[in-house]
Amino acid sequence: MLSYEQIADDIRTVLTAEIDPTKEVMRELDERYARAIGEVNERLRECGALLDNGLRTEAIHRCEAEPNLLNVVAIIDFPEFDVWADFAKQFGCPGPPRILTEIAEQLNDAYNEEASLGDLLRQHRLHALLRSPLPTRLSILRTLAHRDSGTPIWQDDIRAYEKVRHNQLRGEIEAAYAGDDLPALALLEQEVRARDWMQPPANEIIDKATKSHTAVRVKVARRRLDQLVDELTGAHSGFDVARGRLLRSRWHAQAAIALDGEDDPLVELVAPALEWLAEQDRSEQEEADYASTLAAIDQALDDWVPRQDLERLYYKLQSIDREISPQ
């Protein structure tokens, strides 16, 4: 293997010497330098081809094989390159070939990109080794493709993963539907409707996920309504207004999913409890209105407001079904 440092040192020695070298020395040194540049350019071309194919990691590994390619380029691409080329031609030597520094710059950029994507790349490799679920691995790949848009291999991997995921979705939807697994169906519908697919699932898969999710939502809500009938009836029997109101909120939330109309048998069963709660609401509202109006009258009397304003407040007080004190 050529000693790149020795070649660079020998060239600098010749350029700084007070006496010109012989033609034989110049020819031998020029040939050694040309061979060194040829070796380096060959490795640079290999790395450049890998980069062109989106194989950045592989290009970096090739670059780091001993001796490190970028270190060697820094050694042989010394500042006196142009001076040496002119000097060699004075002795009838062909001079050194051009160093493919543009590929070296691409490699340097690849190192910077690899460093910025380091955490994502580690996650990608780790989840591949662990054979993590495809949705997890796809999410990482899509992030990589977005942040590293110049590497087409991520796009190819995403297409391959998505094709496999399409086949998985059918089975997962059927299994979740059979087990009334509402959380799983919610995630599956969200997944198939997401906008980050390169190749979206077939409409048949999307429809299956949507209809399965809706059917199980109704089934689960219906079961919850059955339970709420008993719980609301218990709150009514125990005159537990606070609990009754909490249960009523839950009833309305589930009813919006599972009930089509007021003629449902469950509506009739829960009606007494709901009517009782409505009456409690009206009664408390009347008490609040009475207290606030009475306080307004007291304040108006203190402030000596006009008679018409006092009469308006008094008529409002009379409209509330409460006894007005003599005071």
Residue 324 pLDDT class (50, 70, 90 cuts): low
Q: Are 116 and 106 in contact (CB under 8 A)?
A: no
- pLDDT at residue number 190: 94
- pLDDT at residue number 56: 83
Query: What string of DSSP letters covers 92-160?
Result: T---PPPP-HHHHHHHHHHHHHHHHTHHHHHHHHHHHHHT--HHHHHHHHHHHHHHTTT-THHHHHHHH
The answer as to whether 158 is a domain residue is: yes
> Secondary structure of the chain: what % helix, strand, coil (to 5)?
80, 0, 20
The answer as to whether 29 is a domain residue is: yes
Residue 301 pLDDT class (50, 70, 90 cuts): confident
Same domain for 94 and 29: yes
Of the candidates 76, 92, 115, which is a domain's last residue?
115
The answer as to whether 265 is a domain residue is: no
**Domain span including residue 46:** 4-115
Same domain for 194 and 96: no
- pLDDT at residue number 325: 67
Q: What is the mean pLDDT of residues 83-98?
A: 90
Residue 53 pLDDT class (50, 70, 90 cuts): confident
Same domain for 99 and 35: yes
Look at the block and give the residue holding tokens 């537990």: 240
- Taking all residues of the chain, what is their mean pLDDT, rounded to a whole number? 88
Same domain for 70 and 139: no
Instruction: Give me the amino acid identity at 299.
Output: Q
Same domain for 101 and 25: yes
The answer as to whether 37 is a domain residue is: yes
Q: What is the mean pLDDT of residues 91-96?
A: 90
Same domain for 131 and 111: no
Q: What is the mean pLDDT of residues 11-29?
A: 89
Same domain for 9 and 81: yes
The answer to whether the peptide bond before residue 67 is cis (omega within 30 degrees of 0) is yes
Rounded Cα–Cα distance for residues 313 and 315 (Å): 6
Same domain for 81 and 157: no
Same domain for 82 and 32: yes
Look at the block and give the residue holding tokens 């218990």: 234
Q: b/e for 182-220, b at 16 or more Cβ within 10 A?
A: eebbebbbebbeeeebeeebeeebeebbbebbeebbeeb
Of the candidates 115, 141, 173, which is a domain's last residue?
115
Same domain for 153 and 92: no
Q: What is the mean pLDDT of residues 198-226?
A: 95
Characterise 33 by phi-psi region: left (phi > 0), alpha (psi -120 to 50), beta (else): alpha
Q: What is the mean pLDDT of residues 178-185?
A: 94
Q: Are 170 and 208 in contact (CB under 8 A)?
A: yes
Question: 197 in helix, strand or coil?
Answer: coil
Same domain for 87 and 148: no
Of the candidates 213, 246, 270, which is a domain's last residue?
213
Question: How many domains would you assign to the chain?
Answer: 2
The answer as to whether 225 is a domain residue is: no
Chain-centroid distance, C-alpha 143:
7
The answer as to whether 201 is a domain residue is: yes
Q: What is the mean pLDDT of residues 287-294?
A: 79
Same domain for 148 and 97: no
Q: What is the mean pLDDT of residues 109-132?
A: 82
The answer as to whether 64 is a domain residue is: yes
| Residues above pLDDT 70, as percent of the chain | 97
Rounded Cα–Cα distance for residues 15 and 200 (Å): 65
Q: What is the mean pLDDT of residues 140-151?
A: 84
Of 93, 115, 99, which is closest to residue 27 (Cα–Cα)? 93
The answer as to whether 319 is a domain residue is: no
